[in-house]
Amino acid sequence: MTPPRRPGAGAAKRGALACGLFLLLLALLAAPSASAKLPDPPKLSARSAAVFETSTGEPLYGVGAGERRLIASTTKIMTALVAVDELPLDRVCTAASYRPAPAETQIGLRAGERMSVRDLLRALMLPSANDAAETLAVCAGGSRQRFIDAMNAKARRLGLRGTHFSTPVGLDSTSNYSTAADLARLGIALRRDRFLARTVDMPSATLSTGAYPRTVYNRNLLVQRVGWVNGVKTGHTNAAGYLLVASGTRRGLSFVAAVTGTPSEGARDADALALLRWAYATHRFATPVRSRQVFAEARLKHRPEDEIALIATRTVRELIRRDERLRVVVDAPAELQGPLPRNAVVGSLTVRRAGRVIATVPLVTRTAVPEVGLLERAADAIVRPGSLIAIVVVIGGATALLLRRHGARRRRSRADMEAA
């Protein structure tokens, strides 16, 4: 007789199957299509350009990115970095003696006027005031030349091999130069300072110290026009052309683009924005491994019904193109024998990108592995299928031997009786 079917069992299975298929469909839809063609890098008017991912410092694309060029007021990114290294924000500096040319940008600092470092940095980074740059240099370095020496020392520490400074202001000089790649790296360094990152993301600011309040405006118009653009610095001279180091953050990704030698402000902004948009369209972060994530389970030797979870010790997060995939290879034992402490290393994960190993992560036990007692091990040995067969064979063999010996004795006894 067929046993009665449990009510709802078929519906439950069908529901579970439908749920599984739905989750699989969601996963397929969420995953970027490997066959989708990614956009090509944009065509630029800039003489040189570069775009980098901020958290990793990884270069993504460049045009003449290593060529040395005049950099105008993007020089002031380094001026700001050295100033915050040397001066507290609340320090008050006395305006340096500086005679700007009529075309230079300034906030009109008067000789002897006193202004806080905080306000001087805002004047430096937003309207690009040359008198603020000169004042910060003398205040932080004691002299203009010592400050320039500090700028070059910091460039060496940051690994900017295509960069040299001869001014804190950025007026044209054959010994004041950088590359698009180095300018992008400078932009990344600036964004790591909380005050400077907030400053370059401001459309305007009011300087409350000094002889009178001043309101200054950010020359980087992308900060005002594009919500996710958050810095960094413009530059322009007739010889250098129009420059921009632009940064943006959205969807958990941050990029910095640098363009130099563009023919106009409009072309400068369009080039930088195109590079940032291209970076977002073509790159993503993948996290194939998360810390404490279970990647395998091992049976406990002599107690196979118990399983020990094996977990990763750290997270692997990799910037990749949207059409790339990462592969995780697990090397883990199927069985473990205790005692082992919690977090004992018993295996490993290998993360591969296009066949190349990019990370190796230890696999450890999530819990301690107990020692199985002697009696339990003996019982396990007895109940194992192979062990039972061996026991049956041994017992059968012993029984057959005894029967043969017993038969032989009976035959001998019968022969003796017949002989008698």
Is 114 or 398 the better-scoring residue by pLDDT? Answer: 114
Predicted confidence at residue 70, as pLDDT, reads 98
What is the distance between the alpha carbons of residues 126 and 232, in angstroms, rounded to a whole number?
9
- Specify whether 301 is located in the same domain as 269: no
Least reliable range by pLDDT among 18-27, 150-159, 270-279, 409-418: 18-27
Confidence of residue 399 (pLDDT cuts 50, 70, 90): low
Predicted confidence at residue 34, as pLDDT, reads 47
Q: Check whether 1 has a pLDDT greater than 50.
A: no
Q: Check whether 63 has a pLDDT greater than 80.
A: yes
Q: What are 155's two structure tokens? A: 């460039």
Domain boundary, last residue among 256, 283, 310: 283
Domain boundary, last residue among 233, 259, 283: 283
- Specify whether 104 is located in the same domain as 185: yes
What is the distance between the alpha carbons of residues 401 and 407, in angstroms, rounded to a whole number?
10
pLDDT tens-place string over residues 142-153 = 999 999 999 999
The answer to whether the beta carbons of residues 60 and 276 sit under 8 Å apart is no
- Specify whether 122 is located in the same domain as 148: yes
- Specify whether 298 is located in the same domain as 264: no
In this structure, is residue 322 part of a structural domain? yes
Q: Check whether 35 has a pLDDT greater than 60.
A: no
In this structure, is residue 393 part of a structural domain? no
What is the distance between the alpha carbons of residues 341 and 227, in angstroms, rounded to a whole number?
51
Mean pLDDT over each residue of the chain, to the nearest integer: 87
- Specify whether 141 is located in the same domain as 211: yes
- Specify whether 273 is located in the same domain as 300: no
What is the distance between the alpha carbons of residues 116 and 94, in angstroms, rounded to a whole number?
9
User: Would you tell me how many other CB atoms lie within 10 Å of the CB of residue 367?
Assistant: 12
Instruction: Look at the alpha carbons of 291, 292, 296, 300 in this order and tell me if their dihedral is positive or negative.
Output: positive
Express as a percent the part of the chain with pLDDT over 70. 80
The answer to whether the beta carbons of residues 234 and 124 sit under 8 Å apart is no
- Specify whether 112 is located in the same domain as 175: yes
Predicted confidence at residue 360, as pLDDT, reads 97
Is 41 or 10 the better-scoring residue by pLDDT? Answer: 41
In this structure, is residue 208 part of a structural domain? yes
- Specify whether 271 is located in the same domain as 250: yes
Confidence of residue 101 (pLDDT cuts 50, 70, 90): confident
Q: Check whether 17 has a pLDDT greater than 70.
A: no
Q: Check whether 420 has a pLDDT greater than 60.
A: no
Q: Which residues contact 81 (CB under 8 A, 6 or more apart)?
A: 154, 186, 189, 190, 193, 196
Specify whether the backbone of 72 is left (phi greater than 0), alpha (psi in -120 to 50) or beta.
left
In this structure, is residue 146 part of a structural domain? yes
Q: Check whether 305 has a pLDDT greater than 90.
A: no
Determine the structural domain holding residue 70 and report its residue range: 48-283
pLDDT tens-place string over residues 348-358 = 999 999 999 99
- Specify whether 83 is located in the same domain as 160: yes
Tell me if residue 128 is catalytic.
Answer: yes
The answer to whether the beta carbons of residues 215 and 202 sit under 8 Å apart is no
Catalytic residue from among 48, 116, 128, 348: 128
Predicted confidence at residue 290, as pLDDT, reads 97
Predicted confidence at residue 92, as pLDDT, reads 98
Tell me if residue 76 is catalytic.
Answer: yes
- Specify whether 298 is located in the same domain as 209: no
Find the mean pLDDT for residues 143-168: 98
Residue of 190, 199, 194 lying closest to 219 (CA atoms): 199
Check whether 43 is labelled as a binding-site residue.
Answer: no
What is the distance between the alpha carbons of residues 161 and 247, in angstroms, rounded to a whole number?
22
Q: Which residue type is seen at 381?
A: A
Domain boundary, last residue among 259, 283, 307: 283
What is the distance between the alpha carbons of residues 83 and 89, in angstroms, rounded to a whole number?
9
Number of independent structural domains in the chain: 2
pLDDT tens-place string over residues 105-135 = 999 999 899 999 999 999 999 999 999 999 9
Tell me if residue 73 is catalytic.
Answer: yes
Q: Check whether 81 has a pLDDT greater than 70.
A: yes
In this structure, is residue 345 part of a structural domain? yes
Confidence of residue 372 (pLDDT cuts 50, 70, 90): confident
Predicted confidence at residue 18, as pLDDT, reads 43
SS3 state of residue 359: strand
In this structure, is residue 408 part of a structural domain? no
Predicted confidence at residue 338, as pLDDT, reads 86
In this structure, is residue 385 part of a structural domain? no
Question: What is the CATH number for 324?
Answer: 2.60.410.10
Predicted confidence at residue 395, as pLDDT, reads 59
Confidence of residue 16 (pLDDT cuts 50, 70, 90): very low
In this structure, is residue 380 part of a structural domain? no
Predicted confidence at residue 413, as pLDDT, reads 63
- Specify whether 337 is located in the same domain as 250: no
Question: What is the CATH number for 147?
Answer: 3.40.710.10
Predicted confidence at residue 23, as pLDDT, reads 37
Residue of 336, 342, 346, 355 lying closest to 295 (CA atoms): 346
- Specify whether 228 is located in the same domain as 124: yes
